[in-house]
Structure 1
Amino acid sequence: MARRLVRALADLAPAGARRAVAGAMVDLKSLPARLRDPARRAEPWSFVHNVGNGDFQAIGAMLLHNLEDHAGLKPTDQVLDIGCGNGRVAAQLAPVLRPAGGYVGFDISRRGIQACRRQFAREPHMRFQHLDVWNGEYNARGRVAELDTVFPAPDQSIDLAFATSVFTHMRMPAVRRYLSETARVLRQGGRLAFTVFALEPGREASDAFAFQEFDATSAVVDFRYPERAIGHRREALEQAVTEAGLRVAAFLRGYWTPVGEYDGGQDLFVVVKP
C-alpha cells in the first residue's frame, strides 16, 4: 500500500523528482546485494541518475551478451555508447575491449558522466563525454536542441554503436537526427544496435505500457511528459533508418508485450552502414 502511494505521488511530480524517487526505490532493493558483496558497493546510486529498474550487474551483463550475440561485438571494436547512463554496459565492456578496442560513451546527464569518469579513471581506453542536450525526461534544462546534437566521435571512426532505451525517450525528429549522426560516425560495414518500442498491429500497447496515439508516427504513456516513454511505428523507424543511409539487418521483438523473440524487454534493431 505504501509503495503504491509513493508511486502515485511520484507520478504527479516533475520528471527529475519522479525519476529520483523511482531510483531511490531501486537503490533500496539493491541494498542486500551491496551488503553481501563488497564488489557491488561501488555501483552508482540510481537516485542520482536513474536509467531504469533492475540489477546493475545482471542487466549490464545481459546487454553485453545481446551485443555479442546479435550485433557482432568484437574485442577490437571501437564502440560508441549512445546514452551510457551510469555505466552499467561500460562496466561489462571495459575488460572485453582491453587492450585492443576502444570505447566512447556519452550522456545528457552530467551526474551520470561524472559517475562514469570516477568509476573508469584508470581505464584509458574508456572515455566519457557529457552533452548538454535537452530532453523532457532526463535533461529539461539542456541548452542544446536535440536536432543540433553532434556525437563526440570523428567521421567513420566507429565499428559498433548502440543505444539502449534511448529512442524510447525521444520524439521521431530527434531519433532521425541521432540516426543521421550514427551514420556519420560509423565506418563502412559498421553496426548500430538500438532498442525501442516498435509499434505494430497487435503490439501497440501492453499492461505495463499503455501507449496512446501522440502523433502520426508515435504513441506515449503520459501526455504531460511525452519523453517518459515513447513508442514509434515500426515502419516509421525503418524509414528513418533508410533515410539515414543505413540498412536494417535484423529485428527482434522484446517481451514488453507477451510475444518476445530474444531476452530483451524492448524490441531490438540491428542496422548496418553499407
Structure 2
Amino acid sequence: MRYIVRYVVYLPIDIMDRLKGNRNKMIPPRGMMYIGSGDFEIQGKRILSLVQSYTHLQPHHHVLDVGCGIGRFAIPLTSFLSTNGTYEGFDIVKTGIDWCKKHITPSYPHFNFSHIDLNNTLYNTATKAKAEQFKFPYSKSYFDIVVLTSVFTHMMPNDVANYIEQISDVLKPKGMCYATFFLFNKQENFSSTERSFQFSYDYGDYRLLDKKVKEANIAFDEAFIHSLAEKHQLSIKHSIKGWWRGIEKTDKIDFQDIIVFEKRNQLS
C-alpha cells in the first residue's frame, strides 16, 4: 500500500519532469523510489564514495549488491566499473528490479539484476519464503566486494546470521563486505539523541523500533555481529559510528553505522 501512496503523491511531479525533459533517464521517477531518504542521486554517489574509501574496490572487480533496491548504488557504479568487472544485484521488491533491468542493463550488460521473493514485514508480505533459508545463487569465492546498505537494519537475527554466512561463502579470500547497521553496545547503555531512533524494545542481541512491524528498523548488539563474523571467517577491518547517534556529520561517516568485513585467507 505504501508503494501505491508514494506513486500517487509524486505522480504530478513525475509527469511534469517528463514533459519538461527534466528527468535523467538513468534516475527512476520519484514515485518509484522506495528506499532511503534525501536526494536519490546524491545518496548513491555518497555510498559509492564511502565504499571506495573503506574497501579496495577496483574497476575490474566483481561486485555483489545485496538489497540493491532500484539501483541507488548501481547507477553511480556504472561510471566506475569497467567491462572487465561484473555487477550482480538482487532485491525482494520486484518493481525496483524490473526498472533496473529495463533502464540499466541494456546500456551496461555487465550489470545484472535478480528478483528474489523473500518475506519481510516491511517490504514483502506476499510470500512465506524465509531469508534465513535463502542460499545466494552465486559461485563460491567469486566476488571481490559485497555491499549492503540499509539491509541488515530490516532483518531479524536468524536472517542476518544466514546472510553473513552466505556473504563469506561468495567472497574471495581477502574480499571485502561493506555493510550498514544500527549497532548498540550493552556496556554503554546507549540511547540515540534522535527521537525517532530509540529502539525501546530490548530482546538481548537485538532491539526493535516497532513491535508491530518488527523489520521496520532493527538494532544489533555489536558483540552479536562480531561473533557471526568470527564464526564465518570474516575479520572486521573498519567499524564507523553513524550520525543517527547524534554525532557530528562528516564526509567519512554515514547516517547508519558501517562495518567493513574482510574474508580471511584459507590458511589464516
Report the equivalent of 1:238.
226
Q: CA deviation at 1:72?
A: 1.9
Report the equivalent of 2:131.
146
**In the superposition, relative to structure 1, how do residues 29 and 216 fare at CA in structure 2: closer, same or farther (>3 Å)?**
farther
Report the equivalent of 2:208.
220
Q: CA RMSD in A?
A: 2.3
Report the equivalent of 1:5.
none
- Give per-residue Cα distances to partners, 1:68-88, cap 9 Å, x unaligned: 011221111100000000001
**In the superposition, relative to structure 1, how do residues 136 and 172 fare at CA in structure 2: closer, same or farther (>3 Å)?**
same
Report the equivalent of 2:174.
189
Report the equivalent of 1:89.
73
What is the 5 A alignment of 1:145-224?
Answer: 145-200=130-185, 201-205=188-192, 206-224=194-212
What is the total number of aligned residue pairs between the two structures? Answer: 258
Report the equivalent of 2:258.
268
Output the CA distance in 2 between the equivalents of 1:250 and 1:47: 35
TM normalised by structure 2 equals 0.88
Report the equivalent of 1:10.
none
Structure 1 residue runs without a partner (length 5+)? 1-16
Q: CA deviation at 1:98?
A: 2.0
Q: CA deviation at 1:90?
A: 0.3
TM normalised by structure 1 equals 0.86
Report the equivalent of 2:99.
115
**What SS is found at the alignment partner of 2:78?**
helix
Contact 1:34/1:41, CA 8 A, preserved across alignment: no
What is the 5 A alignment of 1:46-85?
Answer: 46-85=30-69
- Give per-residue Cα distances to partners, 1:3-23, cap 9 Å, x unaligned: xxxxxxxxxxxxxx2355457
Report the equivalent of 1:127.
112
**In the superposition, relative to structure 1, how do residues 71 and 255 fare at CA in structure 2: closer, same or farther (>3 Å)?**
same
Structure 2 residue runs without a partner (length 5+)? none
Larger fraction in helix = 1
Report the equivalent of 2:88.
104
**What SS is found at the alignment partner of 2:238?**
strand
Q: CA deviation at 1:28?
A: 7.8
Percent identity over the alignment? Answer: 27
Q: CA deviation at 1:210?
A: 2.1
Report the equivalent of 1:251.
239
Contact 1:23/1:50, CA 8 A, preserved across alignment: no
**What SS is found at the alignment partner of 1:40?**
coil
Counterpart residue type for residue 204 of structure 1: S
**In the superposition, relative to structure 1, how do residues 164 and 94 fare at CA in structure 2: closer, same or farther (>3 Å)?**
same
**What SS is found at the alignment partner of 1:38?**
coil
**What SS is found at the alignment partner of 2:50?**
helix
Output the CA distance in 2 between the equivalents of 1:72 and 1:32: 41
Structure with larger RCO (C-alpha < 8 A, sep 6+): 2
Output the CA distance in 1 between the equivalents of 2:11 and 2:261: 34
Q: CA deviation at 1:122?
A: 2.4
- Give per-residue Cα distances to partners, 1:164-196, cap 9 Å, x unaligned: 000000011100100000000001000001000
**What SS is found at the alignment partner of 2:195?**
coil
Name segments (4+ residues, structure 1) moved above 4 Å: 22-37
- Give per-residue Cα distances to partners, 1:95-117, cap 9 Å, x unaligned: 21122211000001111110110
Contact 1:34/1:40, CA 8 A, preserved across alignment: no
Counterpart residue type for residue 241 of structure 2: R
